[in-house]
């Protein structure tokens, strides 16, 4: 990576499971019973490590040296940046789940377009090769499969890549997942994610908390407990825990290849939670990027066009961002993905 720069764009993998019918003891902890040593071995294959962790009654959240890992009783989400080998985690995770009486129900692999594609190892130099590797790693029972590259008309170099596989034609997932990718961060805002002079010797926990406060990340969701981590000499990651909801942010602040991501899982119809458009507005405002893309995955819930339009209205009104492209695609057994691209109005 030294020849180019650090690759901020993450690869993301989500695996969903169900309890075997023949399983005698269905422990409600499910995948959370996987011991740390086993998880660490998987992450070693991926080429990353755990740097911080937090848990509540619903799930376990790990900040990684390259992004994040979330473990729910029947779902695992792992996203990694840089030149990590994410797809090497599929087979061992399926094996660990099988030992707990859990069978794979669905798989989703997604990523944006890399800033430094030539720096990636095989198979990540080609989405077609990635799809082949994923398909070879999955059981044949996941028969409903689809790969798609969603390319915005305004910026073909910022495509969204998605592969899904499901054992059911109807999705069992009720959570809506929102993934935001931001490039060309405002230089002043990006300074919050550099360790200040004199902070080099401070631990990453205190430096991470300082970055969370200075940047305003703690205001995105005031209800979330934040597990944050500051990298040396710059860079930042955090996982937010709010009941059964997760959120995560990763920042590569260096000028020339600056990047930030924000992701959260939510339900559109739960009372007592904020409008997603307001949450997204606060998240994007932390970074003031020149280019924003938002991929929204509707699992078991029907695609809601009004939510999509409301996000566009709020980002335009509050941040001056204009939606330049909106693409929708459907995936059998895995719901609908809407991919929106934004740039400032002045461009």
User: For residue 296, what are the contacts with CB-CB under 8 A and spacing of at least 6?
Assistant: 176, 177, 178, 179, 307, 308, 337, 338, 339, 340
Say if CB 262 and CB 127 are below 8 A apart. Answer: no
What is the number of other CB atoms lying within 10 angstroms of the CB of residue 347? 10
Predicted confidence at residue 157, as pLDDT, reads: 87
Domain 11-344 has CATH 3.60.90.10: yes
Q: How many CA atoms lie within 13 A of 105 on its CB side?
A: 18
Q: How far is CA 33 from CA 26, 98, 106, 143, 219, in A?
A: 12, 12, 20, 28, 33
Q: Which one from 192, 204, 250, 341 is the annotated catalytic residue?
A: 250
Q: Measure the CA angle with vertex 250, ends 55 and 89; round to 5°.
A: 65
The mean-pLDDT minimum among 21-30, 106-115, 318-327 falls in 21-30
Greatest alpha-carbon pair distance for the chain in Å reads 62
Helix axis angle, 305-319 to 276-287, nearest 10°: 40
Say if CB 190 and CB 236 are below 8 A apart. Answer: no
User: Does 137 or 176 have the greater pLDDT score?
Assistant: 137
Predicted confidence at residue 99, as pLDDT, reads: 94
Say if CB 112 and CB 158 are below 8 A apart. Answer: yes
Predicted confidence at residue 24, as pLDDT, reads: 55
Q: Cite the annotated binding site by residue number.
A: 6, 66, 231, 254
DSSP for 255-319, written as a single string:
TTS-EEEEEEEE-TT-TTS--HHHHHHHHHHHH--SEEEEEEEESSSPP-HHHHHHHHHHHHHHH
Predicted confidence at residue 2, as pLDDT, reads: 40
pLDDT, the chain, mean:
90
- pLDDT band at 88, cuts 50/70/90? very high
Q: What is the pLDDT of residues 195-240, one digit of tens each?
A: 887 655 556 668 999 999 999 999 999 899 999 999 989 999 999 9
Predicted confidence at residue 34, as pLDDT, reads: 96
What is the number of other CB atoms lying within 10 angstroms of the CB of residue 302? 9
Q: Which one from 48, 52, 68, 81 is the annotated catalytic residue?
A: 81
Q: Cite the annotated binding site for substrate by residue number.
A: 6, 66, 231, 254
Mark whether 234 is an active-site residue: no
Predicted confidence at residue 195, as pLDDT, reads: 87
Joined together, the tokens standing for residue 170 give: 């109807």
Say if CB 227 and CB 205 are below 8 A apart. Answer: no
Instruction: Work out the percent of the chain whose per-residue pLDDT is above 90.
Output: 72
Mark whether 23 is an active-site residue: no
Predicted confidence at residue 169, as pLDDT, reads: 75
Q: What is the pLDDT of residues 139-194, one digit of tens each?
A: 999 999 999 999 998 888 889 999 999 998 777 777 889 999 999 999 999 999 99
Q: How far is CA 184 from CA 29, 34, 220, in A?
A: 41, 39, 20
Q: What is the pLDDT of residues 261-314, one digit of tens each?
A: 999 998 766 555 568 888 999 999 999 999 999 999 988 657 778 888 989 999
Average pLDDT on 39-45 reads 96
Instruction: Work out the percent of the chain whose per-residue pLDDT is above 70.
Output: 92
Average pLDDT on 85-90 reads 96
Mark whether 250 is an active-site residue: yes
Mark whether 95 is an active-site residue: no
Q: Which one from 67, 113, 148, 247 is the annotated catalytic residue?
A: 67
Predicted confidence at residue 4, as pLDDT, reads: 64
Query: By C-alpha distance, which of 107, 28, 13, 3 is closest to 68?
Result: 13
Q: Which one from 110, 192, 237, 334 is the annotated catalytic residue?
A: 237
User: For residue 21, what are the contacts with CB-CB under 8 A and spacing of at least 6?
Assistant: none
Say if CB 216 and CB 242 are below 8 A apart. Answer: no
């Amino acid at each position: 990576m030294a020849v180019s720069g650090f690759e901020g764009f993450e690869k993301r993998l989500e695996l969903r499971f169900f309890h075997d019918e023949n399983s005698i003891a269905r422990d409600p902890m499910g995948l959370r019973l996987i011991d740390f040593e086993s998880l660490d071995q998987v992450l070693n294959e991926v080429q990353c490590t755990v740097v911080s962790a937090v848990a509540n009654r619903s799930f376990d959240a790990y900040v990684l040296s390259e992004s994040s890992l979330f473990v729910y009783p029947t779902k695992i989400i792992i996203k990694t940046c840089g030149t990590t080998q994410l797809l090497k985690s599929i087979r061992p995770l399926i094996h660990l789940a099988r030992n707990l009486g859990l069978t794979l129900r669905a798989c989703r692999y997604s990523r944006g377009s890399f800033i430094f594609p030539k720096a990636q190892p095989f198979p990540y130099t080609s989405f077609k090769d990635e799809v082949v590797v994923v398909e070879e790693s999955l059981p044949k029972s996941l028969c409903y499969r689809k790969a798609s590259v969603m390319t915005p008309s305004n910026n073909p170099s910022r495509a969204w890549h998605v592969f899904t596989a499901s054992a059911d034609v109807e999705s069992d997932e009720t959570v809506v997942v929102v993934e935001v990718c931001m490039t060309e961060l405002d230089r002043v805002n990006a300074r919050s994610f550099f360790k200040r002079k004199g902070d080099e010797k401070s631990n990453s926990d205190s430096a991470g908390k300082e970055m969370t406060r200075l940047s305003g990340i703690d205001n995105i969701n005031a209800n979330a407990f934040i597990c944050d981590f500051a990298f040396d000499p710059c860079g930042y990651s955090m996982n937010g825990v709010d009941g059964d909801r997760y959120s995560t942010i990763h920042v590569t602040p260096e000028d020339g290849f600056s990047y930030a991501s924000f992701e959260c899982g939510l339900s559109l119809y739960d009372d007592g939670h904020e409008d997603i458009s307001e949450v997204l507005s606060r998240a994007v405002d932390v970074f003031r990027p020149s280019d924003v893309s938002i991929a929204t995955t509707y699992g078991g819930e029907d695609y809601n066009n009004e939510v999509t339009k409301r996000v566009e209205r709020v980002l335009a009104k509050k941040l001056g961002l204009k939606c330049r492209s909106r693409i929708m695609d459907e995936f059998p057994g895995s719901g609908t993905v809407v991919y929106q691209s934004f740039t400032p109005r002045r461009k």
